[in-house]
């Protein structure tokens, strides 16, 4: 690793003091046009590039933000990450992303390294568990933005969608098509996002006085295989659902897998609707009807909000804001009017 040039090298070559060199290269303080020229030339000559580490130690700013999500592999997160990255790059920030895999333990570990590494701020989608550590960080003044989920007793700003309304819209759509036996494949209880989606499901049913049948509620913990199994159970049951509402992408593929395996036709035999959109959803047969979330925009917005806090006026009032973004019910071909309705 060829030793990089430092301010000292530049200063020596330019025939000025190190402090001077620092001033013109960091453009602060004051200096004459002439020294500016000399320093700039010297810097170019030795290929000077500032040592970000040293600067960080001195200024206590790393220009790096930490991102903690469940799994970068899920397309919802991938595109949100891209949104964050794009905004971050624009402003000279880098990001470090960690996966919690919905494990409270991993989340805590990741959070610890993120803090140790002196992140200027954190963008987090908390999994379930005890978040006292998070609250402590927030109270301590760490810039923080919650995405996709909130956590009780933490009034940090959050960027989310109205999961309840979105779910209700989706299920109501099913109801309007005549469905009454609508199953839901949901994620882990306690995860706020998911509880809201379930609430929306329940609401849509209640609105039409359709009883909520426990046998039609499956918890697949956001996991593909669990959803696969859950769907199988649904199909084996005495009363088969005429429609299935799935709560995220991973579970959607598991569900479809089981449906294909059992040669259940969509939407003739069962209607299908899911949270999260993919490039591929449109090309499946039939094209999948889904609730699309603006994940890329959410990422950009999350970063912007975080940056606001970072540049924020000291310990002044924090923007205890909650941005609720619009989802879109993308109607394609996986839902049909119920047989005989």
Partner DNA sequence: TTGTACGCGTTATCAG
Partner DNA sequence: CTGATAACGCGTACAA
- Smallest separation (angstroms) from DNA to the CB of 115: 13
Q: Which does 70 bind (CB under 5 to 8 A by kind): DNA, a second copy, none?
A: none
Which string of DSSP letters, residue by residue, matches 157-226? -EEEE-HHHHHHHHHHHHHHTT---EEEEE--TT-HHHHHHHHHHHHHHHHTT----GGGEEE-TT-HHH
114, burial (CB in 10 Å: exposed 0-12, middle 13-18, buried 19+): buried
Q: Which does 6 bind (CB under 5 to 8 A by kind): DNA, a second copy, none?
A: DNA
Q: Out of 41, 54, 215, 341, which residue is the one contacting a second copy (CB under 8 A)? A: 54
Judged by CB, which is closer to DNA: 10, or 110? Answer: 10
Residues 54-113 that bind DNA (CB under 7 A): 54-55, 57-59
Q: Out of 31, 203, 253, 287, which residue is the one contacting DNA (CB under 7 A)? A: 31
Contact between 257 and a second copy (CB under 8 A)? yes
Q: Which does 284 bind (CB under 5 to 8 A by kind): DNA, a second copy, none?
A: a second copy
Cβ–Cβ < 8 Å for 73, 129? no
Contact between 284 and a second copy (CB under 8 A)? yes
User: What is the Cα–Cα distance from 318 to 149, expressed in whole angstroms?
Assistant: 19
By CB under 7 A, which span of 27-35, 122-130, 216-224, 313-321 interacts with DNA?
A: 27-35
Contacts of 178 (CB under 8 A, 6+ apart): 337, 338, 341
Residues 8-47 that bind a second copy (CB under 8 A): none
Residues 33-52 that bind DNA (CB under 7 A): 34-35, 48, 50-51
Instruction: Write out the two tokens for 195.
Output: 């509880």
Residues 207-246 that bind a second copy (CB under 8 A): 224
- Smallest separation (angstroms) from a second copy to the CB of 117: 5
Closest by Cα among 220, 204, 223 to 212: 204
Adjacent-strand bridge partners of 158: 146, 322
Phi then psi for residue 309, to 5 deg, are: -65, -40
User: CA-based angle 154:160:170, to the nearest 5?
Assistant: 130
User: What is the Cα–Cα distance from 257 to 54, expressed in whole angstroms?
Assistant: 53
Contact between 6 and a second copy (CB under 8 A)? no
Could you identify the residue written with the tokens 């810097």? 43
Judged by CB, which is closer to DNA: 29, or 141? Answer: 29
Contacts of 98 (CB under 8 A, 6+ apart): 66, 67, 68, 69, 110, 113, 114
- Which residues lie near a second copy (CB under 8 A)? 1-2, 49-54, 56-57, 60, 62, 64, 71-73, 78-79, 81-82, 85, 89, 92, 94-99, 110, 112-113, 115-118, 140-142, 224, 253, 256-257, 260, 278-285
- Which residues lie near DNA (CB under 7 A)? 3-4, 6-8, 16-20, 22-23, 25-26, 28-32, 34-35, 48, 50-51, 54-55, 57-59
């Amino acid at each position: 690793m060829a030793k990089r040039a430092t301010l000292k090298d530049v200063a020596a070559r330019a025939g000025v003091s190190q402090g001077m060199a620092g001033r013109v290269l960091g453009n602060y303080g004051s200096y004459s046009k002439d020294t500016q020229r000399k320093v700039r030339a010297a810097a170019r000559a030795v290929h000077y590039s500032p040592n970000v580490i040293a600067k960080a130690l001195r200024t206590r700013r790393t220009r790096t933000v930490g991102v903690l999500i469940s799994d970068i592999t899920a397309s919802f997160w991938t595109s949100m990450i891209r949104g964050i990255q794009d905004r971050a790059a624009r402003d000279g920030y880098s990001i470090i992303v960690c996966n919690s895999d919905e494990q409270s333990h991993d989340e805590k570990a990741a959070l610890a390294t993120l803090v140790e590494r002196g992140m200027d701020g954190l963008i987090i989608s908390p999994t379930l568990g005890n978040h006292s550590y998070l609250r402590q960080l927030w109270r301590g003044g760490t810039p923080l933005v919650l995405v996709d989920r909130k956590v009780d007793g933490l009034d940090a700003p959050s960027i989310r969608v109205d999961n309840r309304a979105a779910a209700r819209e989706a299920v109501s759509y099913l109801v309007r098509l005549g469905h009454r036996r609508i199953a839901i494949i949901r994620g882990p209880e306690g995860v706020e996002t998911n509880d809201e989606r379930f609430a929306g499901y329940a609401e849509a049913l209640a609105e039409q006085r359709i009883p909520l049948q426990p046998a039609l509620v499956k918890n697949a913990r956001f996991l593909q295989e669990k959803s696969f199994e859950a769907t199988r159970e649904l199909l084996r049951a005495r009363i088969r659902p005429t429609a299935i509402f799935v709560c995220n992408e991973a579970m959607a593929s598991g569900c479809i897998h089981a449906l294909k395996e059992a040669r259940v036709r969509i939407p003739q035999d069962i209607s299908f609707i899911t949270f999260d959109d993919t490039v591929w959803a449109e090309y499946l047969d039939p094209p999948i009807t889904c609730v699309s979330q603006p994940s890329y925009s959410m990422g950009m917005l999350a970063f912007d909000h975080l940056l606001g806090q970072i540049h924020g006026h000291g310990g002044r009032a924090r923007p205890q804001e909650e941005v609720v973004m619009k989802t879109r019910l993308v109607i394609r071909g996986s839902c049909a009017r119920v047989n005989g309705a």
